Amino acid sequence: MVKSSVLGYPRIGADREWKKALEAYWAGKIDNEAFESQLQEIRLNHLRKQQAKGIDYIPVNDFSYYDHILDTATMFGLIPERFAYEGGKVPLSVYYGIARGTKDAAASEMTKWFNTNYHYIVPELSGLTPVLTENKPLVAYQEAKEKLGIEGKPVLVGPLTFVKLSKGYSASETGTWLNRLLPLYVRILQELQQEGVQWVQIDEPILVTQVSDEDLQHLRTIYDTLHASAPAINIMLQTYFEAVERYQDIVALPVQGIGLDFVHGRPGNQQSLQSFAFPQDKVLGAGIIDGRGIWRSSLQENLDLLNELSAIVSPDRLIIQSSCSLLHVPVTTDRETKLTSELKNALAFADEKLDELVLLTQALTSGIGAIATQLDTSARAILALHQSNERNRSDVQQAVEELRVQEPVRSVPFAKRHLAQQDKWQLPLLPTTTIGSFPQSAEVRKARQSWRKGEWNQERYTDFIHQHIDTWIGLQEEIGLDVLVHGEFERTDMVEFFGEKLAGFAFTQNGWVQSYGSRCVKPPVIFGDVAFDGNMTVEETVYAQSQTKKPVKGMLTGPITIMNWSFVRDDIPREHIAYQLAYALRQEVEALEQAGIGMIQVDEPAVREGLPLKVNEQEAYLAWAVKAFKITTCTVQETTQIHTHMCYCEFHDMIGSIEAMDADVISIETSRSHGELIHSFELNTYKLGIGLGVYDIHSPRVPSVKEMTDMIQRALRVLPAQLFWINPDCGLKTRGYDETVASLQNMVEATRLARDTYATLV
- Name which of 281, 181, 187 is nearest 234 in CA terms: 281
Three-class SS state of 531: strand
In angstroms, how far is the first alpha carbon of the chain from the final one? 75
CB 207 within 8 A of CB 248: no
Check the annotation: does 199 bind a ligand: no
The vertex-114 CA angle with 129 and 175, nearest 5°, equals 35
Check the annotation: does 631 bind a ligand: no
Neighbours of 706 (CB within 10 A): 11
Check the annotation: does 437 bind a ligand: yes
Check the annotation: does 491 bind a ligand: no
Check the annotation: does 436 bind a ligand: yes
To the nearest 10°, the Cα dihedral for 28, 31, 35, 37?
-160
- All residues at 6 or more sequence positions from 53 whose CB lies less than 8 Å from its CB, including other chains: 351, 354, 355, 358
* CA–CA dist 606, 560 (Å, integer): 7
Check the annotation: does 356 bind a ligand: no
Q: Taking the alpha carbons of 481, 486, 492, 493 in that order, is the dihedral positive or negative?
A: negative
* CA–CA dist 47, 70 (Å, integer): 22
* CA–CA dist 302, 287 (Å, integer): 10
* CA–CA dist 633, 623 (Å, integer): 16
Question: From start to end of 83-165, where are the E strands?
Answer: 110-112, 119-121, 153-157
Check the annotation: does 645 bind a ligand: yes
Instruction: Compute CA distances 138 → 60, 135, 232, 266, whole Å.
Output: 9, 5, 16, 33
Instruction: Compute CA distances 65 → 42, 99, 132, 230, 477, whole Å.
Output: 11, 11, 18, 28, 41
Considering 328, 418, 466, 698, which one is annotated as catalytic?
698
- Name which of 704, 732, 714 is nearest 673 in CA terms: 714
Three-class SS state of 259: strand
| Alpha helices (H) in 480-558, listed in sequence order | 496-499, 538-546
Check the annotation: does 17 bind a ligand: yes
Check the annotation: does 117 bind a ligand: yes
Check the annotation: does 258 bind a ligand: no
Check the annotation: does 643 bind a ligand: no
DSSP state of 167: B
> Strand 502-506 and strand 513-516: pairing?
unpaired
Check the annotation: does 730 bind a ligand: yes
DSSP state of 280: T
Check the annotation: does 89 bind a ligand: no
* CA–CA dist 64, 53 (Å, integer): 22
Check the annotation: does 634 bind a ligand: no
Check the annotation: does 609 bind a ligand: yes
Upper half-sphere CA count for residue 384 (Cβ side, 13 Å): 15
Check the annotation: does 647 bind a ligand: yes
Q: Is 227 marked active-site?
A: no
Check the annotation: does 669 bind a ligand: yes
The annotated binding site for Zn(2+) is made up of: 645, 647, 669, 730
Residues within the annotated binding site for 5-methyltetrahydropteroyltri-L-glutamate?
16-19, 112, 117, 519-520, 565, 609
Residues belonging to the binding site for L-homocysteine are 435-437, 488, 603
Residue numbers belonging to the annotated binding site: 16-19, 112, 117, 435-437, 488, 519-520, 565, 603, 609, 645, 647, 669, 730
Catalytically annotated residues? 698
